[in-house]
Structure 1
Amino acid sequence: MTAASVAGSGVHPQWPSRPVDAVEVVSLDGLRNAEFGTTEQDLTRRGLLRTDEEACGPTLAGHGSVNPIFVDDRLVLLWLDDPMTTPEGIGAGTPIGEVRAAYPGAAALPAPPGSHRFAGLLARDGDRAYLFLHDGVTVRKIIAGYADWARRLFDEGYGPC
């Protein structure tokens, strides 16, 4: 019966079941196939890490809107773009008020004076965190991963490129 319903649905069992532009959730553990702490070598061996000449750094296969950041060969941060969200539904374009409501303990990080950088909200949970970069109105970028590295990224102004 299942085979008949799949056959009749026009869905191939090896094709992705979600649309290409569907929202994907990143947790404080990472992504479904790329957890924080995983080695660069392991992700490459599993065919998940690729280098695209058009991208500014390595990307995760199947996650075109995610740039991994490695330190000492370990995945420490994910630099996320739309359509990625947190489990609470926070993504690029979310109003800052919604971020504060979803993460009431988030620490405000003002943009450095005289810089053209975004301000941030750091929502920490143990050794992990979300860093929401914003323009004062809406979220522009999300970084997820180890809290100390997220804070360091904010302080030093590092990007995925």
Structure 2
Amino acid sequence: MVAASIAGSGPRPPGSAAPAVAGEVMDLRGLRDVEFGDSEAELTDRGMLRTEVDACGPTLTGPGAVSPIFVDDRLVLLWVDDQVSTPEGITVGTPVDQVWASYPSVTELRAPQGTYRFDGLLARTGDRAYLFLHDGRTVRKTVAGYAEWARRLFDEGYGPC
């Protein structure tokens, strides 16, 4: 399995507006009452984790689709939908140039040629990172968590389903 780390928070350049986000905010610690490193049992006991027949794996309770990725029973990544943003306002649909403006030390990752995978931008801070998968124009998927697992997710092409 692959996990991701979230990184690269910093001040927003003057004049750059974040998209309006009506959902939740995910930072490098996690989301709401969910932190990277929590166990499946802890999240289940707190009522934060649910499994549904129609889902492709466990999801977190609350608005939007948030797919946790566990390695050795510990939360290492969160794969989120467009109702979740970073503190800088980056979410699905955000222009790629806004990611570069918000995370100046971002690393560009190229998907293997001949695949249907998205290119990526890895914004790393310490052992955590955000992984923004994009189509060259806009962010299409957002993943956050431990940097090592985010990079492995990108390299191996693993997803929550």
d(CA) in 1 for partners of 2:82 and 2:160? 15
Q: Structure 2: which 5+ residue stretches go unaligned?
A: 1-20
d(CA) in 2 for partners of 1:35 and 1:64? 17
The aligned counterpart of 2:120 is 120
Structure possessing the higher relative contact order (Cα contacts under 8 Å, 6 or more residues apart):
2
d(CA) in 1 for partners of 2:64 and 2:98? 26
For 1:156, the aligned partner's letter is E
| 1:9-88 alignment runs, 5 A limit | 22-88=22-88
The aligned counterpart of 1:159 is 159
Flag the structure with larger Rg.
1
The alignment covers a number of residue pairs equal to: 141
For 2:97, the aligned partner's letter is G
The aligned counterpart of 2:95 is 95
1:114 deviation in Å?
A: 0.8
CA contact (8 A) 2:64 2:84 kept: no
Instruction: Give the helix-richer structure, 1 or 2.
Output: 1
Using structure 1 for the length normalisation, give the TM-score: 0.85
The aligned counterpart of 1:141 is 141
The aligned counterpart of 2:7 is none
1:22 deviation in Å?
A: 2.8
Q: Structure 1: which 5+ residue stretches go unaligned?
A: 1-20
For 1:77, the aligned partner's letter is L
SS at 2:55 equivalent: coil
Residue-by-residue CA offset, 1:39-93 (whole Å, 9 max, x unaligned): 1110011111110111111001114320000000000000011111000000000
The aligned counterpart of 1:14 is none
Question: 4+ residue stretches of structure 1 with deviation over 4 A?
Answer: none
d(CA) in 1 for partners of 2:78 and 2:63? 11
d(CA) in 2 for partners of 1:77 and 1:83? 17
Using structure 2 for the length normalisation, give the TM-score: 0.85
CA contact (8 A) 2:64 2:83 kept: no
d(CA) in 2 for partners of 1:77 and 1:59? 12
1:149 deviation in Å?
A: 0.1
What is the aligned-residue RMSD (CA, Å)? Answer: 1.0
d(CA) in 1 for partners of 2:22 and 2:97? 24
Residue-by-residue CA offset, 1:14-54 (whole Å, 9 max, x unaligned): xxxxxxx9321000000121000001110011111110111
The percentage of aligned residue pairs carrying the same residue is 68
For 1:151, the aligned partner's letter is R
d(CA) in 2 for partners of 1:55 and 1:84? 18
